[in-house]
Copies of this chain bind each other. A is one copy, B any other.
Amino acid sequence: MVFLSEQPVTAADKTFFQLRKDIVEGEIQPGSKLSETELSTKYAVSRSLIREAINRLEACHLVERKANVGARVVALTQEGLTELYQVREALEGMAARLAAKNMTDQEIADLNGLLSSHFQEVKSAGSYYQEAGDLDFHYRIILGSKSNHLISMLINGIYHLVRMYRVQLGMAGPRVTTAFDEHKHIVQAISNRDEELAEMLMRRHISYSRNNIEAKLANNF
């Protein structure tokens, strides 16, 4: 698994990471209110740190805050999901394009290796991709873009919301079978340094993924 250099250095960081985890993994339910005083006793830190954490969570669209009223965890809706995946399509498409341009040969070789190891899992288990494997694949391409802006927006930003939708909809990962072929073709395009194709395939891949998850969400409501 690719390591994200997100190491907490201060107590505020720890509080933020913990709170984000509890929200993304559903321990704190979507739509529920975030009381600063309550959370400060729960996590045993001062209200200042809770406030800072909530501010950061607001910046990555995990909570919504109203002045003088309070903050709530975002509610998961069909429209929200659609918007999220549209942004993801645009940004990750660009990331794939840049990855085709900027990844080193070694990184591409590693990516192929990752794909092979996933292929083994598919053969043995008969189904592709748990959450972690899919994230690993996408993270490598995002990091491969070598664009700090893109990396920050995707990995520190919207991917936590993506994971939150997945958890709430009770999926271990994306579509189990077809996704592998799509990943394979994307890696091929990157190997060939075909920027145009890499972007197009990534966008389609995410678009398919959106259709799939939208269908699941429609069942939930």
Q: Tell me the interface secondary structure of chain A in the complex.
A: helix
**Does A98 interact with chain B (Cβ within 8 Å)?**
yes
Report yes or no: B10 in contact with A87, Cβ–Cβ below 8 A.
no
| Residues of B contacting A89 in the complex (Cβ-Cβ under 8 angstroms) | 94
Interface window among A28-36, A51-59, A173-181, A209-217:
A51-59
A114 and B40 CA atoms in complex are apart in Å by: 51
**From A89, which residue of chain B is reached at the shortest CB distance?**
B94
Residues 148 to 169 of chain A near chain B (Cβ within 8 Å) = 148-150, 152-153, 158
Q: Does A90 contact B (CB under 8 A)?
A: yes
For A, the interface residue count at a CB cutoff of 8 angstroms equals 30
* CA distance in complex: A10, B66 (Å): 11
In the assembled complex, A9 has its CB within 8 A of some CB on chain B: yes
Query: Is A131 part of the binding interface, using a Cβ–Cβ cutoff of 8 Å?
Result: no
CB atoms of B93 and A149 under 8 A apart? no
A150 touches B52 (CB 8 A): no
CB distance from A195 to the nearest CB of B (A): 12
Contact between A84 and B48, CB atoms less than 8 A apart: no
Q: Which residues of B contact A67 (CB under 8 A)?
A: 9-10, 13
A147 adjacent to chain B (CB < 8 Å): yes
In the complex, which residues of chain B have a beta carbon less than 8 angstroms from the beta carbon of A149? 61, 80, 83-84, 86-87, 158
Does A219 reach chain B (CB closer than 8 Å)?
A: no
Q: Given A9-B67, A48-B48, A67-B10: A87 and B150 within 8 A (CB)? A: yes
Question: What are 15 pairs between A and B in contact, CB < 8 Å?
Answer: A9-B67, A10-B67, A10-B68, A48-B48, A51-B52, A59-B59, A61-B149, A61-B152, A83-B148, A83-B149, A83-B150, A84-B149, A87-B149, A90-B90, A153-B153
Extra inter-chain contacts (20) besides given A55-B55, A153-B153, CB under 8 Å: A9-B67, A9-B68, A10-B67, A48-B48, A51-B52, A52-B52, A52-B55, A80-B149, A83-B147, A83-B150, A86-B98, A86-B149, A86-B150, A87-B91, A87-B94, A87-B147, A87-B149, A89-B94, A91-B91, A149-B158
